[in-house]
A = this chain, B = another copy of it.
């Protein structure tokens, strides 16, 4: 059974005010919650239907069994899926390290699905850290978390207030995806540095464009005016890794 207060509290995470400010966030579905249970992220509460709990062999802390109907009421998904967890936002203690890493820089990615898919794609290619501008979609937006398919557990995503100063402070190559850049087919990628991906419609903003020393582009062969931001990121990363 779930109390009225719990119901209200969980439902409030549909709103930015809640997921952005609280020290916890929502994760749903057996696959994600099972990955979480195997990770060093801390669960604060688990709400699940009985069949899911039964097939889980390890002890489950802070668990409440709910009915399908209750799950439907608390779930933020269109199709509720067995389990919902409240998870503590992780505090990373170690500073970000740029030397030897490719750091993805997201400049105002707006669509939560795009952000989640970019995190997932970066994880696929072995990426470890992403820095984002303050106007990028929020990591703890439930739509972002769900579309990472668990990759938020492996990729560290940090909001950085002054990215231009950060880039200037590092003696590393800065790649940026720009329509008029050099073809990726003719680019030799270094295995460390920064790769900047811009906003879906406005691209990369001025103060970052001026810091790019390798402007790159995916050549266009047909009529579409642009590529989806996550698709473009995947293509760039695939060429980066393929060398």
Give A contacts to B, CB under 8 Å.
Answer: 113, 117, 120-127, 149-151, 153-154, 184-185, 218-228, 230-235, 238-239, 241-242
Bound CA–CA A234/B224 (angstroms): 13
Q: Once the chains bind, are B222 and A126 in contact (CB under 8 Å)? A: yes
Q: Which residues of B contact A231 (CB under 8 A)?
A: 117, 121, 230-231, 233-234
Which 9 pairs from chain A and chain B are nearest by CB?
Answer: A126-B221, A126-B222, A231-B234, A123-B224, A124-B224, A235-B238, A154-B223, A185-B242, A123-B222
How many Å lie between the Cα of A237 and that of B225 in the bound state? 16
Chain B residue numbers with a CB within 8 Å of A124 are 218, 220-222, 224, 226-227
A150 and B226 alpha carbons, distance in the complex (Å): 11
User: What B residues does A225 contact at CB under 8 A?
Assistant: 149-150
For A243, the closest partner residue in chain B by CB is B185
Contacts of A125 in B (CB 8 A): 221-222
Give the residues in chain B near A232, CB-CB below 8 Å: 234
Report which of B151, B184, B219, B224 forms a contact with A151, defined as CB distance below 8 A. Answer: B224
A151 lies within 8 A of B120 (CB): no
Residues from chain B with Cβ under 8 Å of A226 in the complex: 124, 149
Residues of B contacting A184 in the complex (Cβ-Cβ under 8 angstroms): 238, 242
Sampled A-B contacts (7; CB under 8 Å):
A121-B231, A124-B226, A126-B222, A154-B223, A231-B234, A234-B235, A235-B238
Most chain B beta carbons < 10 A, residue from A113, A185, A225, A226: A225
Q: In the complex the two chains form, is A241's CB within 8 Å of B221's CB?
A: yes
B241–A239 contact, CB under 8 A? no
Provide the bound-state CA to CA distance between A120 and B200, in Å: 14
The residue among A223, A230, A239 with the most chain B CB atoms within 10 A of its own CB is A223
